[in-house]
Structures are given as C-alpha cells and as structure tokens.
Amino acid sequence: MSETIRSYTGGANLRRRRRPPVVRYVLLFLLLGVFSWMWFVTRDTHEAGELVPLGQQYELFVSDLLGGREAIAGSSLWEIAPESVASPELREALRNDFGIPAWVLNNYTLGPFHISGNNLPSFDDALIVSRITRVGCLLERFRGWSDQIEDDFAGGLRLRHVPSAGIYYAIRGRILLASSSRKTLVRALTLRPDEAVGQEHIEEAATSRRDEIAHARVLCAGWPEAAAYFEAAEARVWLAGKESRLWLAGRMTDEARSRWSALLEHARPGRLLNPAPGAVQLSVNLGLSLPDAASAAAALAGTPNYRLLDTLQSLLPEESRAFAAPVMEDFVSHLGAGFGVTWRGANPLEMIPMPKIALVLQCDPAWAGEWVGSMPAVPDTVQPWESWPRAAEEPDRVYIPAVAGPDFEPTFAPFGAGMLLNSSHPDALQLLADTPEPAWREEEGNLWLRVEPAPLCKDLLDLGRELARAGLLRDLDKEAFDTLAESWSGLAGKVETVQVLAQHEAGVITIDLRLKTME
Amino acid sequence: MYRLILAAAVLLAAATPASALEAGAAKVEITPAPGVPMNGYGDRWGRDSTGTHDPLWARCVYLNDGETSVFLVNADLCLINPALREKVLDYAPKAVPPEHIILTATHTHNAPGSMEPDFPIRFVSGRFLPELLEHTARRIAKSMEDALAAKQRAAIGYAAGEHNGLTVNRRNSDGPSDKQLGVIRVDNADGQPIAIIANMAAHPTSVPDSHHYEYSADYPGFYYNALEAATGEGCVALFLNGSEGDQTIRSPNGLGGWDRVKDVGESLAGRVKAIADDIDCVEARLHVSYAQTPLPLTIASLLPRTSTVLQTLEIDDLLLCFWPGEPLVDLGLALRERALKAGYKMQCTIGLSNDYQMYFVPEPLYDAPGYEPSMNFFGPFAGEYIIGEFVRMMTRATDRGEGEPDELPTPRTVAGGRYVTLSGDASARGFQLGRLFADDFRARYEQRIAGPIEAGALLPDSAPWSFVPSFIDATPMALLGLASGARPRLTGVSEDTMRVMDGMARGAGLPFDAIWLLQSAADLSRYEPREDLFVGPACTMFSMEGERAAGGLTIGRNLDWPLDEWPVITEVRPETGLAYVQVGFSWNAGVFTGMNERGVVVCLQRLESAAPSPWNETPLEFALEAVLKEARTFEDAVTLLRRVRASQGYVLAAGPTEKGGSAAVLDYHGEPSVHRADDGYLPGVQLDDGRIDSDTRDRYTRAEILIKDQERVTPEMMRDALVDQIEGGAPGSILRPDTAHCVVFEPLRGVMHVAFPSHDGSAVSFETIKVFDRDPAMLAEEAAAR
C-alpha cells in the first residue's frame, strides 16, 4: 500500500452547496443598494433653521413633546383643568402612546419641536418643525402609501396631506414640517436663506433651555389685546408630578410704561413684607407708600387727584372727626412702601356675613409701638360702644368699636416690620399670640401672592350660603348654591397652593406662578 | 241598698271628668353674660351688651285640669322666634304636649338677640350665637321643669280691671289704647297665690339711653319685684304683654328716666295686686287650641316663613289669644269685641307669642307714615285675617266667617275681549277677578315690576343701590322698598277698593303689595330715567250732547296704552252702592273707562306732557271707581269729582240730567277746573292748555273736524272718529298703534259700543252691549225729580 495523495472531488451533494459567484454578488449588491438607498433617502440634508421663517410673531420650543409625554400625562394639572382643555381621553392617549408602538413613536422625535406662526391667538398658521430619526424617515416613506395620506405635488414641493387631521406636512432630509395651513408650509419650504431664522437661532433656543417642558416667545404686535401693553413676551412651563410652574415675562410698550408710570416707575424687585398667615396672602411693594399707590391706581382708573386719606377721613363719624382726623393723617404719613393683606377666615354668623382681613402696613416698628402706646384716653362723653379708638386690655393694642360684634372691631398693633390692622379684634389677638414669623419674605419682587384654595373656598361658601338662604344671590337659590358649592369644594380640594411672584424692572414684568396639587 | 248607693257613686265618679286642677309656678334667670348683641333696636347695629342693670327671667306656670295640661311661659326677651321655640320644645318636659306649650316674650328691648339664624333679621338681632340659643332654650325648659315639679292642687280665677292710665298710644296721645288690665290668679289649696299673671299692652322700651347696652326687663322687672314682695314667698309674678304695637307706658307721676320705669312697674304691681285680691279662685276647665296657620303672601321674601303659630287658651269664660307678633291696639280691641260677642266674659290678647311676624296694623293705618305700618308686611288685612283665624279657634264662636267663593263667574267674549260680571262683597269680587285672570296678573307683575327690578331697571342709581355688587340679587330688598314707597299712594283709596285688591291678591296668588305696585306700574316707570318700560295713557275722549247728539248724549273714548294687555270688561255688582261696568284690563282695580247703572260715565286721561304727579299721590283712577259707585246723576259725579285733588289729569264725566244728558271735563292741577260743552261738543282736553303736547293737540284738532264740525253726531260717527287713522301715519290719527280700547257710550240708553283694536291692520269692529236695562225716560224723570 503506498502513501498516495488522494484527491476527492465532491459528489452531487457537494456540488449543491456551492454558490455561483454571480448570485452572491447580486445579493450583496442588492443589500448594498438597499442600504445605500436607505442611507441616501434618510440623509440629513436640511437644517431646521433653514425652514423657519424669520420674524414669526410667536415661537414655541417644546423640548421633547413625545419623549415627555409620560411627564405630561403624569401632571396633576389634569385633575384641575377643565375637561374641554384636558380631557381624560387625551390623558389616556398620552399614557398609551396614542395606541402606536412606542418604537414607532420614538422614531418620530429627535430633538425639540419648534412651533411658530403669526396668527394669535388662533394659532391657525402654526408651523411645526422637528427632527426625526432615519427610521422615522423610512417609516414616513412607507406611511406615504397609506390611503389616509394624500400626495400634494404642490409644484414639485411634494407635500403630504392628511385630510382627516387637516394637516399638511413635508419631509426635508430628516426634518419634518407640518402645518394646518398649506400656505404656511409652502412658504417654509420655499424660504430664501435671508428669510429664514437660521440654525443659530434654533441652537440658541436649545441652549437657553432651563429643563422646562416648553418655552415660548411672542412678539405682541399681531395680538391687539396683548399689544396694548407688551411688545414681546416669553413663557416657560414646567410640569413635575404635583407641581407645575409657569414663568412669564413681558416687555411693556413705551406707551404702556408711560401710562403706568405713576404706579410702576418706582417698582423694582425689593423686599416684601411677610403677610399674616392665612388662606390668601398678598404682599405688595411697588416702591410707593399705600396712600401713594392708591392715588396712582386711582389715576390709572381715571380718578386723578384721589387721596386715600380723604376717603378714610370721610368715613369717620362726625362726633369723632375732630380727634380722629389728625391721628389718621399722622398714621398715614408714617406708612412706608409695602403692605400685606391676608384673608384670615370668615364669620358667616355675623350680623352681615363677613371675612376677617389682616393688613400689615410697613412702617418703622418703633414708631408703630409709640403710636399705639400714645393713644389718648377716651373722653368721658364717649359711650363705651361708640366708635372711638381705645386701648385694649392687652398692652400695645388699640381697637375701634364699629358696628356688630368683635369681628367688626378694627384693631391696631405693632407687628413684624410694621403695623397690623386687623378687621377682627379676636382674630388680631389670636394672631399676635401665635409664634411670629419672619417679618420679611425671602424672595424679592413687587408682588407675592399665595392662595390655599380649599380653606378659602370653604370660607366663601360659608358666606355665600348665608346670602343664598336669604335669596340674595343672583340666579342662585339655596339648592342651586349647594350644587355649585359641591363642585367648587371638589375642585378646590385638589389644589394645595397657588403661588405667584411678580416683579417689574425697567419695563419688563415677570410673573412666576407655581401650582401645587394635592397628593 | 248600701251597695246600690256605692255602685251609683262609683258610676257617677267614672262619668264625671276629673276636675282637680293642679298648678305649679317657677322662675329661672336667663340673663346671659355681657358681650352678646341685644335685640330690638336697629340703632345698636348688632353691638354687644356691656352689662346687666337687672336680671332677665323665664317665668312659667303649669296648669292641668286633669284633661288639659299647659305650660305658659313669659320670658324677658324681645321676641320668641321659631328657632328658639323649636329648641325649647326639644328640651321641654314631655308631660305637656308641644301644642300646649305657650311661649311669650315681654318684648323688653334690653334683652339678648343673637338667636336668629336668618341673616337679614340679624340686622336687628345681631350676630347669631348658636350657644346662646342653646343656653336660653335650656333655661326656659328649666323653668317648665321647675313649675312641673312644684305642681300642687290649685284653683284659678281671673278678672279684668283697669290700669288707670299706665299706657298711652305712642303715635297719637289721643289715639286708641287698651285700658284693660287682665289679671289671672292661681292659688294653692291653702288659698295662697302661687302665680299672678298680668296682661297689659305697652312697649317695654323705657330703659334710659345711658343704659342702652345693658340687660334689663324694663318696667316688667319692677313689676315682678314689687308684686312678689307684696304677695310674699311662693308667688311667681308673670307679665303677658298685649296688643302693644302702638302702645307705650305713661308714668302716673310724670317721672322720667329710670324713675319712670320704676313708677310704671310698681304702679302696675299695685293695680294687679288690688285686682287679684278680689279674685275668687275656683277649679276651672282648660282648653287649648293650636294652629299652624298660613300667612298671607308677602312681598318681603326676606322673611322666610309662610306660616305661623296661633294658640288660644280658654280658662272657663276667659279667652287668651296668643298673637305671633305685634298687633296694634285697634286689632286687639276688635278681637276682644269678637270674643265677648261669642260669649266669653273676658278676653286678653297676648302679643309676641310663639313666633314673630313683625307688626300688624289695621287697614286704615296701612298707608300711614311711621314705623309700625312700614313693618307690616302681610297686607292691609293681615290683622283682620289673624282675628278671623282666632275666631275659628274659639270654641264658643258660631260665626266663623266664610271661605273664599267657590263659584267663579264665567267670562264671555265681547268684541275680542272678555266680559265678566262680578258680584258679592268687595273682597269676593276681587277674588273672582284675581282667580279668573291669575296667570295674567302674575305675568304682568313679573313683566312690569319684578322683572325690571331684578334686571336693575327700576333701581335707583344712587347709594346704597349703586354699591351692590353684581352677584348680589337686590330684588328682595328693592321690592320691599318699592312697596313701602308706594304705600302713601293708597291714602285716597277707599276701604272697599282695598278689599277688592286684597281679594285680587288672594285670587291671583300674589301679595297685596304686588297688586298695588301693579296698579302703580305706569307711574312708576315715569319716575325713572329708564322710561322704555312703558308710559302712561295718552288717550282721546270727547262728548256730544243736546240736539246735536243723536241719542241726547254720546261719549267717545280711546284709551291709549302701549303695553300688551288682556282686555276685560268688568261688570261690578257691589253689595252696597251702584253697579257699574268698566272697560280695562284684568288687573286694574281703579277705573279708566266706565259707566254705572244710572248712566253716569267717567273716562280718564292723564297728561303725559305735564310733570308727573308726586309719587305719594293716589292715582286718579281710584277716585273714578268711587264716583261710579256713588253718583246717581251727572251732577253727583261732578260734585264728587270736584272734591278730588290731583296734580294733573283730565276726567270726562257725563250722565243724565234734567234736560236729558250732559258732560263736563274736570281739569286737575290741584283744585279742578270744570269745562262744559260749547255748542254740544266737549273735548277731553282744552286745546289752549299750554301743557299738552303737539301730538295730543293734533288728535283733538282732528276730532273737531270729525265730530265738532258735524251738524248732528250719531253713535256710528263717534265710532268712526275713534278708529280714524290719517293715511301715512301722519300726526293726528285718533286711533293710535297703542290704543287699548275704543268705547262709545250712550248713557241715556244704557248702551255702550266697545272695540279692542288688534293693531295688526285688521278693521276695528265694535260690539254693542246693553249694559243696563234702564228706561231712559225713567232716568230722565229721576234726574228731574232731583
């Protein structure tokens, strides 16, 4: 037996496994061709900034509308917003990705949405511009064959029209443009470079994000209602579970600044008094004393030369005018800039159902103490029930018997950074006995407002019920009132607090509104 | 035999009701701590009390005759309101049924308020303090418990004496007052008094101003102390105030301040003791009647209640009537008269009992200025109504009055309107009309009064109305104010017409004040700058008499009235006075156009271009109604109309005379001037009157062409003149777009021709109505005889 190198050639089986080189190459080329086509048709040929017209009256940047849908659906705003704005069905649709597979939906978003237009407040020319993924591009190619979507040649612009949704859209590279207005869409697709905002504008908006869910800018010229006061405005929205926040800024027109100058010319962010605790707390500091602010507000309302002091003095009973008028004038002349107002509750069983209101008026606390302490003794000729300022049993308290019960007895006392003027004597005593809170608020501004809707609503309903029982509420008898009260209580019970901080500086008014809902 | 006598005695005892009277009395102090509002005076504005001058009490007598038990409480409070009564009944001993618990207040104005849950009433009683209501109710219930616990065999007696001038009418010192001092004495088995109850009518509003905010029982406090001191331990003095609406105290010694209060209280105690000493007490029978009585409708919807509590307590021949408010003394005296007539030997009205429905004034004072009438919210006959209800509750009364008429007249259609014959007394006639046209009454009231008020159209522009925020519906207050302001206009309205309107109100289911405002709606609108609601009648009227009149006397008359109305011809057959027919609307109680059974015709035209009459002036149409009921001849009518005073307006009066028939126009601008026909023709206004407007002048100028210039005027020509329209709507058309009715009267034949123009362009057709079957010759004879 010799060592022979044997060479075997394959039989029939071997022959079957062998691919002819031509077929292999065809398949490869086909694959390459498909990928190349896919690569080609989904290439990033356009930038959003080329497709957004310059000088749009409003712009809205939504950071990640579809990506943030869970946060939006999770916001407790849905609990309190009217169903016409926030229907439960829409919320459910957001939670269920509109019934579309998530991967499909996710491929339609890549980066922020940019929405712009001119028609305010109808928004009927809104142009939506967004980047989409390559997969989104491809999906869009295939969806183009759907019978829900019609082609609109539009002189070669190749628009698509979804009649059922009333939307026109087009894809340029990986940019999706959509609008309910065909004209708007055509214009966006035919912009010359100098007519577009440019990519820097879009990027600048992206970099100015402050983790909000949406950011809007408005030029008010096309919006007559707003244009009467503002040139431009800006808004940002945050949604996070039970906390929502809306930040607004508006640049006033020269005419509005001039008109409001009496009230706002001294207003710049400053220290705010801490109002007494209560269901509604308001603190105002416009850089004007209360009498000056009242005069300015009256002038704005068309009553020039108004003096708060005159009004207050006119309320004085004739018999005490000679004494009280100079005391009141002295009091008013010592008031500083800033005051706080608090809704402390209500007494629906009073002679006239009335709220309890606590005012804190900024003044020199030392002077406040002196003023209260120096109140002269009540003359012998004055009866105990007559409206005459008199020292309370407790030190540093002055009260004035008015009409009805003690909840109608205005009471003065040094308080925090000024003087307390409480409409109710017992409530004033309670307030002064409570642990004092800081005299000033931490935040600066011109106006701070905090509302606890549930207790406020309860007070208002208690007061209203008395009027309804007497048939004194327009179009509301007792039964209708009870029905209304139930719905109001339900709504108010969903909100824990509403807080507003507003300020003015150099013609720009900023409002920061925060809403906290119940768990 | 012995057994037979025993059996008979047992049977006799079983057949005879137990008659052993038991009684107990107690008093419990109810004075709250200072610092709560006081009741009675609006000028306190709900401020708190500052101290106690003398204590306040709840004083209770328990009586039980074996069949009927009763708690009679007098509390030193301003009033007993439903919330307090309800609470007291919750805590009261169950030995006495709630319907037999009688709660009365002395009406001291220096007692706590704060027990009124209804907000509008808190303006007087101050803020509502539920804990004070609870406290007071428990203390009152305690007085019942103590009285029950003190029960013992007792006897009772009563007598009516005189208080010898301790009270006086506070509005008119010569006005009526109740001189009676009623005294009830309750003795124990030893003949010692355990309770003495006095009833006198006078306001306890005597505390001097310097103690305005201090608790005090007022003069009853001094009375209690003096009487209890005089009777010794164990006797509780009670005081039941009477029909004190317009009564106050008078110091017999002419004293003032606290001395006056003390003087009256102690003098009262002295008189009561003297009367009580002469009373022989016996074992009496008791009877209590209780009714939850519907109240007449009121325009004051702020008063939340629609019914009230009436109670009577009969002690043998004594009748006590517990009135839930403050009746004026006339009403108390009238009720006493009814009771005595029914067979009771003594009657006392106790005001401020069980409930508080403000004041009740008699009808003649309803339109009088002053506090008491303004606080009477249930119409001019509310007091009379309550008296009637008390009479129904009297066990001895035989005449319990009549209910509303069961049968209503059936209207028939005449000339497109309705013709209805009313009969019976004034109230029944009004009721028939109100019930027949109830829907129309209510619709007109809503359209002309309530609706505009609610929309703010009739509200003054000044404070406080201008300060009312938009969410407040000021209608309840505004209606009340408006009704109050319209009351003086009733001054010249006869009692008969008042009763007609009261009947209308009941029939239509509206308050009396609503009916009166409806009568005043035309004038009301003229006092506002918002005159688009509607304007008063413009009207045209003229007469032809003598030879130039085909029937001897013919009157033509158009009433121009721009609002859509239901035309109604009302034939009124009053129980006293003459029957008459008036052409008008369903709701009008006065007369714009009418003729009586003697052929006397009256027609009214107001002068729109003249200054409006003062708001407090009685509308002229109410004088015409009286004329139709009284005037038998033309001369009678003129005589009656001459007595009427009005600021403006024309009245055409016509009727049979010696020579056949005649007419006159009375021109009112204070004392009326009388104009007579010139050559037979008499226009309703004088063309040379500078106050008339050009439109009126044009119409009357046109009438001269159509009537005056004719040689002889037939009723047909009158009818044609009334429907005359100048082509193209030029000024001067006698038939205006707003003409409500056209009437031609032939008084000497007792005939009238009536048309109600439809304003849709269709021809106006007259219907002839033979109103009264009187022979004209006889009418003429009667006139001649006069």
Tell me if A384 and B119 make a contact (CB, 8 A cut-off).
no
What are the residue ranges spanned by the domains of chain A? 48-66+108-209, 211-259, 268-517
3-class secondary-structure state, position B336 = helix
Of B126, B212, B475, the CB nearest to A351: B126
Structure tokens at B610: 């003249």
- C-beta separation of B587 from B504 below 8 A: yes
pLDDT digits (tens, 9 = 90+) for A137-196: 888 777 656 677 788 888 888 888 888 778 898 988 889 898 989 999 999 999 999 999
Please list every residue in chain B whose beta carbon sits closer than 8 Å to the beta carbon of residue A469.
118-119, 304
> Of B526, B551, B577, which residue sits at a domain end?
B526
Q: Is residue B333 part of a domain?
A: no
Of B50, B119, B120, the CB nearest to A385: B50
**From CA B385, how far away is CA B487, in angstroms rounded?**
20
Q: Is residue B359 part of a domain?
A: no
> Of B526, B561, B590, which residue sits at a domain end?
B526
pLDDT digits (tens, 9 = 90+) for A396-449: 889 988 888 899 999 999 999 999 999 999 999 999 999 888 899 999 999 999
3-class secondary-structure state, position B559 = strand
Of B47, B302, B473, the CB nearest to A385: B47
Is the predicted pLDDT of residue B431 greater than 90, yes or no? yes
B624, B648: one domain:
yes
Least confident of A50-59, A263-272, B776-785: B776-785
Q: Is residue B395 part of a domain?
A: no
Query: What local confidence, expressed as pLDDT, does residue A373 receive?
Result: 87
B517, B553: one domain:
no
**How many alpha carbons lie under 13 Å from residue B504 in its C-beta half-sphere?**
27
CA distance A92 to chain B (A): 38
Q: Is residue B11 part of a domain?
A: no
Query: What local confidence, expressed as pLDDT, does residue A80 receive?
Result: 74
B566, B445: one domain:
no
Which candidate in B47, B118, B123, B306 is best for mutational testing of the A interface (most A CBs within 10 A)?
Answer: B47
Structure tokens at A205: 């908006």
B109, B228: one domain:
yes
Tell me if A403 and B476 make a contact (CB, 8 A cut-off).
no
B576 or B514, which is more confident? B514
Structure tokens at A228: 């009467």
CB pairs under 8 A between A and B: 79
Tell me if B118 and A352 make a contact (CB, 8 A cut-off).
no
Please list every residue in chain B whose beta carbon sits closer than 8 Å to the beta carbon of residue A473.
471-473
Which candidate in B48, B50, B116, B119 is best for mutational testing of the A interface (most A CBs within 10 A)?
Answer: B119
Q: Categorize the per-residue pLDDT at B15 as very low, low, confident or very high, splitting at 50, 70 and 90.
A: very low
CA dihedral B374, B380, B383, B387 (to 10 degrees): 180
**From CA A410, how far away is CA A342, in angstroms rounded?**
14
Please list every residue in chain A whose beta carbon sits closer than 8 Å to the beta carbon of residue B130.
349
Task: Single out the residue of B77, B56, B76, B26 nearest to residue B236, CA to CA.
Answer: B26
Tell me if B37 and A404 make a contact (CB, 8 A cut-off).
yes
Q: Categorize the per-residue pLDDT at A326 as very low, low, confident or very high, splitting at 50, 70 and 90.
A: confident
- C-beta separation of A226 from A240 below 8 A: no
Of A405, A469, A470, the CB nearest to B37: A405
3-class secondary-structure state, position A269 = coil
Task: Single out the residue of B461, B511, B469 nearest to residue B486, CA to CA.
Answer: B511
Query: For A350, which residue in chain B has the nearest alpha carbon?
Result: B127
B544, B499: one domain:
no
Amino acid identity of residue B261, one-letter, is V
Is the predicted pLDDT of residue B198 greater than 80, yes or no? yes
Dihedrals phi, psi of B376, to nearest 5 degrees: -100, 105
The per-residue b/e assignment along B475-485, b for 16 or more CB within 10 angstroms, e otherwise, is bbbbbbebbbe
Query: What local confidence, expressed as pLDDT, does residue B3 receive?
Result: 52
CATH number of domain containing B692: 3.60.60.10
Q: If interface means Cβ-Cβ distance under 8 Å, which residues of chain B face chain A?
A: 37, 44-48, 50, 118-120, 122-123, 126-130, 212-213, 301-302, 304, 470-477
Q: Is residue B328 part of a domain?
A: no
pLDDT digits (tens, 9 = 90+) for B369-416: 778 998 999 999 999 999 999 999 999 988 777 777 778 999 998 888
DSSP B379-410: -TTHHHHHHHHHHHH-TT-S-----S-S--PP
Tell me if A405 and B45 make a contact (CB, 8 A cut-off).
no
Please list every residue in chain B whose beta carbon sits closer than 8 Å to the beta carbon of residue A424.
none
Please list every residue in chain B whose beta carbon sits closer than 8 Å to the beta carbon of residue A405.
37, 46-48, 126-127
Query: What local confidence, expressed as pLDDT, does residue A391 receive?
Result: 85
Query: What local confidence, expressed as pLDDT, does residue A123 receive?
Result: 80
> Of B285, B317, B336, which residue sits at a domain end?
B285
Domain that holds residue B471: 424-526
Is the predicted pLDDT of residue A68 greater than 80, yes or no? no
Q: Is residue B208 part of a domain?
A: yes
B168, B33: one domain:
yes
CA distance A304 to chain B (A): 21
Of A349, A404, A407, the CB nearest to B47: A404
Query: For B468, which residue in chain A has the nearest alpha carbon?
Result: A472
Please list every residue in chain A whose beta carbon sits closer than 8 Å to the beta carbon of residue B301.
471
B330 or B679, which is more confident? B330
Q: Categorize the per-residue pLDDT at A247 as very low, low, confident or very high, splitting at 50, 70 and 90.
A: very high
Which candidate in B473, B477, B479 is best for mutational testing of the A interface (most A CBs within 10 A)?
Answer: B473
- Looking at residues B77-100, what average pLDDT do you find? 97
Q: Is residue B446 part of a domain?
A: yes
B616, B587: one domain:
yes
**Number of structural domains in chain B:** 3
B505, B565: one domain:
no
Enter the DSSP assignment of A222: G
Structure tokens at B707: 């009537």
| ipTM confidence | 0.76
B93, B191: one domain:
yes
Q: If interface means Cβ-Cβ distance under 8 Å, which residues of chain A face chain B?
A: 347, 349-353, 383-385, 401, 403-408, 466-467, 469-475
For chain A, give the mean pLDDT: 86
**From CA B313, how far away is CA B288, in angstroms rounded?**
5
Tell me if B476 and A470 make a contact (CB, 8 A cut-off).
yes
- Looking at residues A27-34, what average pLDDT do you find? 90
Is the predicted pLDDT of residue A65 greater than 70, yes or no? no
